[in-house]
């Protein structure tokens, strides 16, 4: 594929359910980011991977949020015991992440819209 893909595109979960959101970055991209975008707001940083290493998870809102990228390509964001405040669009972005600009430019996927009822 030419770009970053995310699945599912839409997810409805009942409060208390666990969800898993998938991100397929651009092939060969070293860096991968997860963002949370509330309605009418800008993306907020959740976590950052360089290959399989999670180098920054300072944006994860609580210990119910967990992200992994075990083989340095596909990443999964897992939310346990979902709450209504978790309702948002979850964006994934990747970048080549080596050398100099413009290799650090981020390419975003279309996002997963999570609605917790």
Q: Considering the complex, what minimum distance in angstroms separates the CB of residue 89 from other proteins?
A: 9
Selected from 26, 95, 114, 116, the binder of other proteins by CB under 8 A is: 95
Question: Whose CA is closest to 52, among 35, 78, 32?
Answer: 32
Query: Does residue 104 interact with other proteins by CB under 8 A?
Result: yes
Kindly tell me which of 22 and 80 has the beta carbon lying closer to other proteins: 22
Position 109 contacts other proteins (CB under 8 A): yes
Return the SS3 of 42.
coil
Rounded to 5 degrees, φ, ψ at 60 are -65, 125
CA distance readout (Å), 41 to 2, 17, 51, 114: 27, 25, 29, 15
Q: Which residues bind other proteins (CB under 8 A)?
A: 4, 31, 33, 35, 40-45, 48, 50, 55-56, 58-59, 91, 93, 95, 97, 101-102, 104-111
């Amino acid at each position: 594929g030419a770009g970053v893909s995310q699945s599912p595109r839409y997810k409805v979960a009942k409060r208390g359910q666990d969800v898993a959101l998938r991100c397929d970055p651009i092939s060969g991209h070293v860096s991968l980011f997860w963002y949370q975008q509330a309605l009418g707001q800008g993306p907020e940083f959740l976590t950052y991977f360089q290959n399989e290493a999670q180098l920054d998870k300072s944006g994860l809102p609580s210990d119910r949020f967990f992200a992994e990228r075990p083989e340095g390509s596909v990443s999964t964001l897992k939310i346990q015991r979902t709450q209504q405040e978790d309702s948002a669009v979850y964006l994934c972005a990747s970048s080549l992440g080596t050398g100099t600009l413009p290799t650090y430019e981020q390419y975003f996927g279309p996002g997963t819209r999570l609605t917790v009822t």
